[in-house]
Each structure stands twice: as C-alpha cells, then as structure tokens.
Amino acid sequence: MQSYGKAGSINRLAAGFGLLAAFLAGCGDKSAPSTAAAAGGAMPVQFQVAETKQIPDTSEFLSVLKSRHSSAINPQVEGQITKIFVKSGDRVKLGEPLLQIDPLKQEATVSGQEAARAAQEANKKYAQISLERAKKLFDAGVISKQELDNAQTGYDAAEAQLHAMEEQVRTQRVELKYYQVSAPMDGIVGDIPVRVGDRVSVATLLTTVDEPGALEAYIYAPVDRSKDLKLGLPVRLVDENQKPIAETNITFVSSQVDTDTQTVLAKALIPNTSAKLRIAQQVRAQITWSVHKGPVVPILSVVRINGQFFAFVASKESSGTFARQKVLKVGEPLGNDYPVLSGLEGGEHIITSGTQFLQDGMPVVEQAGNPAAAPTDGKAGASH
C-alpha cells in the first residue's frame, strides 16, 4: 500500500508537468506566429522596388537680388546739406526734390555773373552808338575808313563779350539747380546715410532710388563651373527652408572673372509680380546643369556612417533571399527620396523596415502585407 501511494504521487506529478508543458507550448504559439518556422530563421522585412526618375544635376549658390532700374544718387556739387525732403521707403516721382545743398555761395556767383552781364550790355550799347555815329561821320567825309573800322571792331568785340557773359550766367544758373538734388525717375527711396549739416562731395552717396517691379538675381558661380554657364539654364530660388520662391532662367553670363573672388557673375530675371521679394535680399539660387534618369531610394532606408551612405537590398540567391549592404553615392534630396548617383540600379529591391537590426548576408523574407513583390534575382523586380 505504501509503494502504491508513492507511485500514485509520481504519476500525478508527471501529469502536472505534462499539463504545464502543454500550456507553455500553447502560450508560445500565440506570442510568436509561424513566421520564424515558415522562414527557417529568416528575418521578416518589407521591400520597395527602386524607382527610376528624372534626376536634375543642380548646384546651389548664394544670390543677391537687385533692381533692374536702380540709381545711386551722388551730388554734382560740393557743399553742406541744409534740408532732406524725403525719408527711406518714400515713393517719389521724376524731378521730385530729395535733398538741398546750401546754395548761398552759388547764388552769389550767379548774381555776380548777372551784374557783369548787365555791365557788358551797357558797353555793347555804347559801342553800338559809337558805331552809328562813326558811320554818319564817315558818310559826311569827316572821319577816315580806319576810324570807322575801329568803331565796328569795338562793337563786334562788345557783342561777343556780352554773348560770352550770357553763357557764363546760363552755366552758373544750371549749376545752381544742382544744389537741389532731385529724383532721376519714379521709384522708392533707399537708405539715406547722410544727415543735415554733413558736408558732401561729388563722391558722396546720398541715397538710391529703385524702380519697383522686376528684379535680377546676381549669382556668383565659381570659376571652375564657368564653362557650364550658359543662357537659358533653369534657376530656382529657394529660401533658407528650401521652399521655392521663384522659377526663372539665366539671362546673362559675364565674360570676365572677378579677380578677388574668382567667381563668374550670372544674372536671372525675376518678374516679382507679387512684390514679395525685396531689393538687396539674399536668397539661394539652384542652377540645374542637366537632367538624367536614375534610381532613387527612400531617405528613411538610407543610413549614414562616417560620411558614407548605405542601404540594404534583398538579393535572391540559390540558397534563399539575403540582405546585402550597398555603399551609395547620393545627391541632394528630391522630396522624400535620395537620387542615387552610384551603387544602386533601378528595379533592385530596397529593404525599408528593420534596417537597424540587419547585417550583411542575413537571411530575410518578405513580411506579410508588403506591397512590393518578393525579388526573383539580385537585381530583378518591377514596381507593382
């Protein structure tokens, strides 16, 4: 009876372990689906077929916007500023006064010239009277022909001198007008760096007047790209967030190189119909040199290590499908993709999930619900 009791206890204990094992096995089936068994240990991943798109070859340069009709205002005379009639940002019309330079000295000069001209007019009248008298005396035989000629010469000299004096007065009056600086065209007044009381010369910049409307982007390209610069190349202006501002084309390429910066100037016309861009604004200009077809890869599928770009592709081989790591050379992002310059061909299957857990040569299998078809060979595959 005692031995039977021990045997019964052992049997009950064995049955309990059996039930526990069955329960754990059932739990294991629920937490890990049959993917591992079906894949024979391969890691489930998602694939995406590498698309081929039009890839632009672009370069980005700093650009400055300038008015197509901008005038730098310098005085034509020297003197002290007594009045400033406008302020920066004012809209002015052609001929509207901008600044006044002290004209007192010039006004005195004009007055002196006018007085000299008046005196010369009196001299001319006296010479004319003398000539008329000499003609009468000559006709009466009182004076000689030489005396008549002398009177005629005196009159001619007085008349010529009066004409010269009138020209001098006219010149001084014109110069007097320069003491009031006026707008050379309709436009917007720029910065005014001078103040009332400042003494200016003909080399002093008083202000600028810019005509609103169309602008020009001044693009300074390095000299090593000068051979590629040509009229009509597409240009895109973008802001600091790479958002497009305007689309245009190159309209001018300089034939000279700036010796200080070793750059070549190119210009692009900007209509600026909405007036969102401003004169002297700095923007980024992207010049498109050419466009070619090439593969692209999703940015999220690319890993950058020590300045190099890597991506995993699914390669179908004789013994199964394996993850193969490839070194890529990529260009500037195009939306959510990198254009691939080398290292990948269109149609290859890019692994888009679980890349942080992959190693080169690791077996992989298409994950359920993957929109891309499983690869048929190392490069094959078509977009579904």
Return d(Cα 347, Cα 57) in angstroms, integer. 22
Among left, alpha and beta (phi > 0; psi -120 to 50; other), residue 9 is alpha
Q: From residue 290, give the alpha-carbon distance in Å to each of 177, 229, 274.
A: 55, 11, 29
Return d(Cα 162, Cα 117) in angstroms, integer. 6
Phi/psi of residue 363, nearest 5 degrees: -70, 140
DSSP H/E element including 234:
strand 234-238
Q: Which residue ranges form the domains of the chain, and what is each CATH number?
A: 35-55+293-366 (2.40.420.20), 59-69+210-292 (2.40.30.170), 76-100+179-209 (2.40.50.100), 103-177 (1.10.287)
What is the residue-wise DSSP string for 295-342?
Answer: EEEEGGG-EEETTEEEEEEEEEETTEEEEEEEEEEE-S-BTTEEEEEE
Residue in this structure with the two tokens 């909405």, named with its chain if needed: 274
* Residue among 209, 197, 210 nearest 84 (CA): 197
The two beta strands, 282-298 and 337-342, are: antiparallel
What pLDDT tens digit does each residue of the chain (384 aa) get?
A: 444 444 444 445 444 444 444 444 444 443 333 344 344 578 898 888 888 888 888 888 989 998 878 889 999 999 999 999 999 989 999 999 999 999 999 999 999 999 999 999 999 999 999 999 999 999 998 999 999 999 999 999 999 999 999 999 999 999 999 999 999 988 889 889 999 999 999 999 999 998 877 889 999 998 888 888 999 999 999 887 778 888 999 999 998 998 888 999 999 998 887 777 887 888 899 998 888 888 888 888 898 888 889 999 998 888 889 999 999 988 878 778 888 888 888 888 998 888 888 888 899 988 754 554 444 444 433 333
C-beta atoms surrounding 99 within 10 Å: 23
User: With b meaning 16 or more CB within 10 Å and e meaning fewer, what string describes 13-30?
Assistant: eeeeeeeeeeeeeeeeee
C-beta atoms surrounding 136 within 10 Å: 10
Return d(Cα 88, Cα 75) in angstroms, integer. 18
Return d(Cα 318, Cα 291) in angstroms, integer. 38
